[in-house]
Amino acid sequence: MTGANGRQARWQRNAVDGVGAVLLLTGLAWLAVHYGMGAGAGQLPHPAEAWLMRLHGLAAFAALFLLGAIAAAHVPAGWRITSEGGWPGQRGTGLVLCTLAGLLVLTGYMLYYFAPEPVRPALGWIHAAAGVAMAAVLGLHRHRRCAGRARQLRNP
């Protein structure tokens, strides 16, 4: 799953990109529909809301599987490589990604199963912000790895 160089297998990168895109797009679309089209006093939820949440939930199960695969192979290999002086900055963004993943799992679980009604809007916005941050930090994490590799090629 993760090579000796710490790099994820292509299927993992593709799966993370695909599942992450579905999660981000369905989450943002739900926010747009809920607060844009469905907003207003006494209005019923927009019909698309339920389908967006179903697709978002399905992608969340796939993301949990990927999170397990990454936690089992990529994280330990990356931790070892960064402790040996490779890829500066990777460990920090990796820790932020792990923290955001935990926050997303926790807030998503709470929203689905037992968040009290007065807390739901704030919890939902925390979940949404963490999701957008996850996408941004993942891009930074990959950029730092590529920059670190380029630096290693220039200065062997």
Query: Residues 110-128: pLDDT tens digits?
Result: 999 988 999 999 999 999 9
* Torsion over CA: 142, 139, 8, 70 (sign): positive
Q: What is the pTM of this model?
A: 0.81
Could you read off the pLDDT of 129-138 as tens digits, one per residue?
Answer: 999 999 999 9
Q: Which domain holds residue 37?
A: 10-154
| Number of Cβ within a 10 Å radius of residue 63 | 21
Distance of CA 63 to the CA centre of its chain: 8
Is residue 2, in this structure, part of any structural domain at all? no
Is residue 80, in this structure, part of any structural domain at all? yes
Query: Is the model's pLDDT at 153 over the cut of 60?
Result: no
Q: Higher model confidence: residue 33 or residue 45? A: 33
Count of structural domains within the chain:
1
Is residue 131, in this structure, part of any structural domain at all? yes
Residue-level pLDDT at 154: 53
Query: Three-state DSSP class for 8?
Result: strand
Which residues have a Cβ under 8 Å from the Cβ of 4 and sit 6 or more positions away? 77
**Which band of pLDDT confidence, cut at 50, 70 and 90, is reported for residue 150?**
low
Is residue 3, in this structure, part of any structural domain at all? no
Is residue 43, in this structure, part of any structural domain at all? yes
Q: Considering only 30-44, 65-79, 117-131, which range has the smallest mean pLDDT?
A: 30-44
